[in-house]
């Protein structure tokens, strides 16, 4: 007569509970680590973007202020500050606008000598830089 080879229901439940427990014990820390790492990476990227945006804002505000100061009084100090801050802006400007900035700069550096910067040229550059500042601030 063959022996009874049926498995007791309690044994099956115990084995399933053991497998689920071991799987949860092993997978839970792994899943938690993956989720935490993704969150930390996103937070770091947002922090870096915020820091870069603040730096861009500072450079643009400084440039706009220096343009205004040099336009009002073309002293050597104001022209020097204008030149230093103006060239930093090129990093944030699309290349198709570089010729506009180059033309403006070429006219503006002659301001102490002939004063021939057209108000429309000044307005175009100021409006463009202010538009960039507004985009960054959003």
**pLDDT tens by residue, 25-69:** 888 888 999 999 999 999 999 888 888 889 999 999 999 999 999
Q: What is the pTM of this model?
A: 0.67
Q: Per-residue confidence at 85, pLDDT binned at 50, 70, 90?
A: very high
For the chain, the first-to-last Cα distance in angstroms comes to 84
Domain boundaries, the chain: 9-137
- Better-scored residue on pLDDT, 115 or 90: 90
**Worst-scoring range by mean pLDDT, 1-5, 91-95, 118-122?**
1-5
Closest-CA residue to 76 (of 111, 52, 103, 119): 111
């Amino acid at each position: 007569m063959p022996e009874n080879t049926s498995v007791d229901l309690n044994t099956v439940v115990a084995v399933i509970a053991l497998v689920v427990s071991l799987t949860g014990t092993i997978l839970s820390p792994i899943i938690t680590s993956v989720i935490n790492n993704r969150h930390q990476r996103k937070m770091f990227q947002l922090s870096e973007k915020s820091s870069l945006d603040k730096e861009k804002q500072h450079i643009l505000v400084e440039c706009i202020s220096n343009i205004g100061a040099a336009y009002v009084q073309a002293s050597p100090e104001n022209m020097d500050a204008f030149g230093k801050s103006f060239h930093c802006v090129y990093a944030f400007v699309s290349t198709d606008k570089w010729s506009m900035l180059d033309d403006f700069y070429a006219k503006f550096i002659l301001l102490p000598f002939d004063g021939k910067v057209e108000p429309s040229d000044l307005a175009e550059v100021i409006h463009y830089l202010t538009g960039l500042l507004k985009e960054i601030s959003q």
